């Protein structure tokens, strides 16, 4: 969904969805993420990488406002700080 919004140039919608996905995964799985007794987290990693890719693409786009890029950067810093287990890049 976030990828299609990015393609349609609804950058704010794409950012909102991608950040929502990452925050929800972070908050719901914080206590168990990486616990080998729980099982494999490969599918969650794929979702996180996809959401992070959308955010990275938006940061690199010339069509996106500086304000929105600053929001993305700030939110990614928040995610890395509070959910360091999420496979996202700064």
Give 1-38 as a DSSP string.
Answer: -HHHHHHTT-HHHHHHHHHHHHHHHHHHHTTTTT-TTT
In a domain, 89, yes or no: no
Q: Which residue has the higher pLDDT, 20 or 44?
A: 20
Q: Which residue has the higher pLDDT, 39 or 17?
A: 17
Average pLDDT of span 57-78: 96
Question: Phi and psi (nearest 5°) for 24?
Answer: -65, -45
pLDDT at 78: 97
In a domain, 23, yes or no: yes
CA dist., res. 45 & res. 84, Å (int): 13
Domain count, the chain: 1
In a domain, 87, yes or no: no
Average pLDDT of span 27-50: 84
In a domain, 90, yes or no: no
Residue 81 near residue 41 (C-beta atoms within 8 A): no
For the question of whether the overall pTM of this predicted structure is more than 0.75, the answer is yes
Q: 73 is in which domain, residue-wise?
A: 2-82
In a domain, 36, yes or no: yes
In a domain, 68, yes or no: yes
Quick one: tokens of 15? 């950012």
Percent of the chain exceeding pLDDT 70 equals 90
- Whether pLDDT at 7 is above 50: yes
Residue 90 near residue 80 (C-beta atoms within 8 A): yes
Taking alpha carbons only, the member of 23, 25, 1 closest to residue 13 is: 1
């Amino acid at each position: 969904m976030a990828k299609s919004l990015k393609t349609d140039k609804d950058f704010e919608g794409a950012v909102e969805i991608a950040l929502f996905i990452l925050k929800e995964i972070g908050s719901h799985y914080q206590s168990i993420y990486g616990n080998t007794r729980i099982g494999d987290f490969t599918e969650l990693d794929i979702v996180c990488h996809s959401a992070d890719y959308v955010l990275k693409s938006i940061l690199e786009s010339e069509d996106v406002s500086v304000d929105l890029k600053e929001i993305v950067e700030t939110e990614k810093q928040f995610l890395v700080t509070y959910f360091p287990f999420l496979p996202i890049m700064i």
